[in-house]
Amino acid sequence: SAVISQKPSRDICQRGTSLTIQCQVDSQVTMMFWYRQQPGQSLTLIATANQGSEATYESGFVIDKFPISRPNLTFSTLTVSNMSPEDSSIYLCSVETGTGTPQHFGDGTRLSIL
Amino acid sequence: QKEVEQDPGPLSVPEGAIVSLNCTYSNSAFQYFMWYRQYSRKGPELLMYTYSSGNKEDGRFTAQVDKSSKYISLFIRDSQPSDSATYLCAMSGGGATNKLIFGTGTLLAVQP
């Protein structure tokens, strides 16, 4: 399966600031996704990162808060904007290597907001 | 009601025991069913992937899907301390977006 690298692996940030998380895959993939994993809760899909076009956001998530880029078939970024303590979470990138294949995940970015 | 329900545990078993992990769901459109294993400070790792109803076996792991009852299970035979992790069920209806809906995860501890 594809090797998925996320950077940074963890960070502690001040409220009101923004952080960009990178997801790099070692091979071209068809689909890339961004999830949030909050303590005691299910993984929740934030958005699907579309190559060459705007991301598709799930209900409750907006582009102004979570802008996403996907400039090519191996790389995507998620920015968490104007952070508040409620944004403290694990953010995970996942990929599909082909249509109908299961998703594989990176190790996530552990984000704490003070 | 959540779309996917999973007993959060924690579940503690002795080494060598058979472990049964379960999820129920409400959306009859789900067709693809997955089990992921997540170690502390790591991302979810795909364990089993099944389509529609039936059983699938891979080594010590067996996944069962009963679509009529909207119920899926993961069995772990001869459990090992290295199996200690959080187990997440996930499912999707397939299609272009393949959005995954996850359970909250079951924390398993296998005692040596």
**Are A42 and B104 an interchain contact pair (Cβ–Cβ within 8 Å)?**
yes
Residue B10's closest chain A neighbor by CA?
A40
Contact B74, B35 (CB under 8 A): yes
Per-residue pLDDT of B66-85, as tens digits, reads: 999 999 999 999 999 999 99
- For residue B94, name the pLDDT band (cuts at 50, 70, 90): low
Q: Is B40 on the interface with A (CB under 8 A)?
A: no
What CA–CA distance (Å, rounded) separates B62 from B11? 18
The β-bridge relationship of strands A109-113 and A10-13 is parallel
Strands A109-113 and B4-6: unpaired
A102/B46 CB distance under 8 A: yes
- What is the DSSP secondary-structure string of B81-97? GGG-EEEEEEEE--TTT
Per-residue tokens: B88: 């997440």
Q: Rounded CA gap, B6 and B45, in Å? A: 18
Per-residue pLDDT, B89 = 97
The low-confidence residues of chain A, meaning pLDDT below 50, are none
Is A105 in contact with B45 (Cβ distance < 8 A)? yes
Burial level of B6, CB count in 10 A (0-12/13-18/19+)? buried
Choose the mutation target among A42, A89, A109 for the interface with B, i.e. most B CBs under 10 Å.
Answer: A42
Quote the pLDDT of residue B97: 55
